[in-house]
Amino acid sequence: MTKAVAKRLKALRQRMSNKGIDVALFWDPDNQYYLSGFRAISYSRPIVYLVYKDKTHYIIPELERDHASQMAEVDDFFIYHEKLQDHDKDTNYLQPLNHIMDDFPKEHVLGVEMDIVPASAYQRLIEKGFDIKDVGEDVIDLRSVKNEEEIYWLEQAGYLSDIALEASFHHVRAGMSELEFDSYGDQQLLETASDEYPDLIIGYENWTCSGIERSSMPHLYSSTRRFEQNDVVVHSRQVWINNYRAENERTFLIGNPTKEQKKCLALAIEAQRVGMEAVKPGVKAKDVDIASYKVFEEAGYGEYIQHRTGHGLGLSEHEEPYLRFDNDLVLQEGMCYTIEPGIYVPGAGGFRHSDTVIVTKDGCRSITTYPRELEDMLFPNH
Amino acid sequence: MTKAVAKRLKALRQRMSNKGIDVALFWDPDNQYYLSGFRAISYSRPIVYLVYKDKTHYIIPELERDHASQMAEVDDFFIYHEKLQDHDKDTNYLQPLNHIMDDFPKEHVLGVEMDIVPASAYQRLIEKGFDIKDVGEDVIDLRSVKNEEEIYWLEQAGYLSDIALEASFHHVRAGMSELEFDSYGDQQLLETASDEYPDLIIGYENWTCSGIERSSMPHLYSSTRRFEQNDVVVHSRQVWINNYRAENERTFLIGNPTKEQKKCLALAIEAQRVGMEAVKPGVKAKDVDIASYKVFEEAGYGEYIQHRTGHGLGLSEHEEPYLRFDNDLVLQEGMCYTIEPGIYVPGAGGFRHSDTVIVTKDGCRSITTYPRELEDMLFPNH
């Protein structure tokens, strides 16, 4: 077992003990990875990770056995099968789960991720008569502060995302589709990663929304829509390497933007700068959100905000804690957040940059560094 | 509302009525899309779709409001907010969910997707005292038989996946990384899609596992590992267009494969052929699985099978029903399956093709057509 996983399990068990939890059962793929070192690509066959006071178990489909054995140092695997030859063994994940629970003393207290575990499994735990407590919030807490190795991988993800943005922006022109714009970045990213990071897993996601109508909706898949002359475009990219993610988003203007569009983008850039400046240990998550919010509000654009200023980042696409107006969480060194205040203005479009920052001893450091000033975001029509 | 969505809602309501369900609540993104026409890209902010006997509601975060209003013709939206200005409105999804439930008569019976709805929400429904029944199995049933329009999009996904495979295979050589191999297909796919399918959303996923050790594990992310001389490689690709997916997988051999490797790949190809031949209306899902299984079993390779012969395909990466030895489901015209029997042989590697087939009146038709014979799968070392 890696030192990092051992340390996390120790911290988890301390929290389990404080809450009187005897066994914690994890369904969330990212929590499983964090606490065991193993992650699958697909969970249509459910995988459950069990953490006891003194041992760990995996309930896992046969096709993941070798991979899990290689990645996770677990005390026991309970395999379920799906081929005719094994018809007399366990053939779905609820069977080993039942056997295991039948061996628990009746007074056992179970910890589960209440926001994750599906009702069908939860109902079984209830029917067995066990007391159940939430353990999801504890792993959110643990995951929120990154160690040195995690920060290293976040930085590499940030570096690769910068390279991808540079390649996409190198080719920007009216007439190319959103997905083609993305693909230049993808290709450069994979080429660079293949050269510099041998034998590692790497991935990415893009969401590019072009034109006034599409950019005004914060979350859309990239499409085959072609950039038009004088378009506003919000390009979002997440890159992950060795499971850790960075987010890098830029809003840019093609051709001759309106005065209003330039003003909105300048405001979003300023709101992001102010948000970043607010980040340091000791301030609350809400302080960062409100700092960015006020930039829009004071300019008369408060009503065009649709979302919080940022989210935690690490193993998941969006992870808690969130930078929201109502979150009293105190920031600590080693936390990782996106800073991405945005406005969505009828007739003008959407305006939002996102960068990924690590909280440092006395402020924060952005691990995504692609240029973000207004003059960097203006491109000719051809 | 589109005709297709209206028809699905009618069929769902018939099933709800048969089960005595008054309101069905959906958490699954693909079920929501199927029953409303709206799909978001991210669900870290939960979205709930409610189907009543005579109306539909969405509980939705503010940033999805415009997109959802455009895509889904719903009778009412319950918006929750996350900016300071709206601190006195609902600020998380459980608040509107609570208001709505408080208006239900106490004797209401609720339908939920028991394998999807998270325990935290389920616990609230229980505490309110409602009877709860599973409605997930009903939507699985409805989704399993595709209509003409769905089959059209599945076919386009199949076509694009073929184009991607052709581009990747055009460049195959020892020395390129798994991710570079993927990227040739990605780029060609996006270029073709941008030309031929304007203003549509398109995406893809690849999992390429090269070398004996990696190919022996059925499910791994593509990595920066470089193909070596005489490698065995399992390349998997899913492409989706307008939300519908096709899967296209090929195992190929670089350089001078061993006799054993050629034999294993020939067996996997034969098992797939036999599986496809078994598919027709009236046979059971298990018959297809067992037909493929027997090819391996009779050649003495049964113990190296790790997974079922195939899964349903449509909106989700893997969807029910599954082609498993224990599934008595009777196949119907319009169903869509992957046929992908595989073996994973110590010292030799993994061997699995996957194609996507539509069940026709008297057999099946593959919507992925990239060459699949042994001689098509042999590539020189350089």
Structure tokens at A368: 């995504």
Residue at token pair 């409602």? B130
pLDDT digits (tens, 9 = 90+) for B313-323: 999 999 999 99
Q: Are residues A323 and A212 in the same domain?
A: yes
Q: Are residues B178 and B315 in the same domain?
A: yes
Boundaries of domain holding A248: 145-379
In this prediction, residue B73 carries a pLDDT of: 84
Count helices and strands (H / E) in chain B.
11, 17
Check: CB of residue B316 under 8 Å from CB of residue B333: no
Q: Are residues B283 and B294 in the same domain?
A: yes
Burial class, A255, CB count within 10 angstroms (exposed 0-12 / middle 13-18 / buried 19+): middle
Q: Which of residues 220-249 of A touch B (CB under 8 A)?
A: 220-226
Q: Which of B143, B161, B184 is the last residue of a domain?
A: B143
Distance from CA of B122 to the nearest CA of A (A): 6
B323: domain CATH number?
A: 3.90.230.10
B55: domain CATH number?
A: 3.40.350.10
- Using the Cβ of B105 and the Cβ atoms of chain A, whether some distance falls under 8 Å is answered with no
Of B82, B199, B223, the CB nearest to A308: B82
Between the alpha carbon of residue A85 and those of residues A44, A189, B290, the distances in Å are 22, 44, 10
In this prediction, residue A353 carries a pLDDT of: 98
Q: Are residues A285 and A183 in the same domain?
A: yes
- Using the Cβ of B302 and the Cβ atoms of chain A, whether some distance falls under 8 Å is answered with yes
In this prediction, residue B368 carries a pLDDT of: 98
pLDDT digits (tens, 9 = 90+) for B198-212: 999 999 999 999 999
Q: Which of B143, B163, B189 is the last residue of a domain?
A: B143
In this prediction, residue A73 carries a pLDDT of: 84
In this prediction, residue A220 carries a pLDDT of: 95
Domain total in chain A: 2
Q: Are residues B133 and B174 in the same domain?
A: no
Average pLDDT score over residue span B17-27: 98
Q: Are residues B295 and B231 in the same domain?
A: yes
- Segments of chain A scoring below 70 in pLDDT: none
- Using the Cβ of A155 and the Cβ atoms of chain B, whether some distance falls under 8 Å is answered with no
Distance from CA of A335 to the nearest CA of B (A): 19
- Using the Cβ of A180 and the Cβ atoms of chain B, whether some distance falls under 8 Å is answered with yes
In this prediction, residue B382 carries a pLDDT of: 78
8 Å CB contact of B115 and A119: yes
* Geometric angle at alpha carbon A306, from A304 and A310, rounded to 5°: 125
Q: What is the DSSP string of B210-263?
A: EHHHHHTSS----BSPBP-TT-EEEEEEEEEETTEEEEEEEEEEESS--HHHHH
Q: Are residues A311 and A247 in the same domain?
A: yes
Structure tokens at B360: 């026709």
User: Does the CA dihedral A372-A378-A379-A381 come out positive or negative?
Assistant: positive
In this prediction, residue B1 carries a pLDDT of: 74
Residues in chain B closer than 8 A to A344 (CB atoms): 66
Size of interface A-B (CB pairs under 8 A): 221
Q: Which of B89, B119, B143 is the last residue of a domain?
A: B143
In this prediction, residue B152 carries a pLDDT of: 98
Q: Are residues A102 and A83 in the same domain?
A: yes
Q: Are residues A286 and A239 in the same domain?
A: yes
User: Does the CA dihedral B211-B213-B219-B220 come out positive or negative?
Assistant: negative
Q: Are residues A239 and A348 in the same domain?
A: yes
Of B85, B114, B197, the CB nearest to A120: B114
* pLDDT over 80 at B90, yes or no: yes
What is the SS3 assignment for A136? helix
Q: Are residues A167 and A93 in the same domain?
A: no
Q: Are residues A83 and A185 in the same domain?
A: no
8 Å CB contact of B202 and A223: yes
